[in-house]
Amino acid sequence: MKLILLAAVSMAVVFGQMTTTAPTADPCQMCDYIMNQARHHLNNGYDEPTLLKELLNDCQSLGRFYGQQAVRDCQDTCNQNIDTIYKDLKAGKDAWQVCYDLHACFGTEPTHQSHPHTMEPKLKKKYF
């Protein structure tokens, strides 16, 4: 009986120390995802306030994969830059160009949207 109790306590300690950490998020790829979501919403005719509301909801979906810090960073970026996001996308900029303007991506600017390999992460602490 003592052996079973000792084994149970040992397992509880081992499993209690195991923590799941969210995978590291690439700020450029996350920004690209959110900007493509924004483009989709704009194609549905959303105005700037409605776009912001939808993007904040889209940021929530990042939490499942990257944790709550990614959600907070995404929402902060959207809140602080909604004017730029809205105007740039309405002006025809692609997702990479908007992310480049937001300093989430850097590198050689692509000549068109079919150059995702030029998307490189710039920031390590913030998600974008």
Predicted model pTM: 0.68
* pLDDT recorded at residue 33: 93
Looking at the structure, give the CATH architecture of the domain made up of residues 24-121.
Orthogonal Bundle (1.10)
Residues 77 and 127 sit within 8 Å (Cβ to Cβ): yes
pLDDT digits (tens, 9 = 90+) for 30-56: 999 999 999 999 999 999 999 999 999
Element (H, E) at 21: none
pLDDT digits over 48-98, tens only? 999 999 999 999 999 998 999 999 999 999 999 999 999 999 999 999 999
> 42 with 89: CB under 8 angstroms?
yes
Of residues 54, 6, 32, the one with CA closest to residue 98:
32
Six token digits for residue 102: 């937001």
Q: State how far the alpha carbon of 85 is from the alpha carbons of 19, 37, 74, 95, in Å.
A: 36, 11, 13, 9
The encoded tokens of residue 18 equal: 């195991």
Q: Both tokens of residue 13?
A: 């300690």
Q: Which of 32, 126, 23 is nearest to 76 (CA)?
A: 126
Domain boundaries, the chain: 24-121
Q: What is the pLDDT of residue 112?
A: 45
Instruction: Please report where in the chains the tokens 């149970």 appear, as a residue.
Output: 8
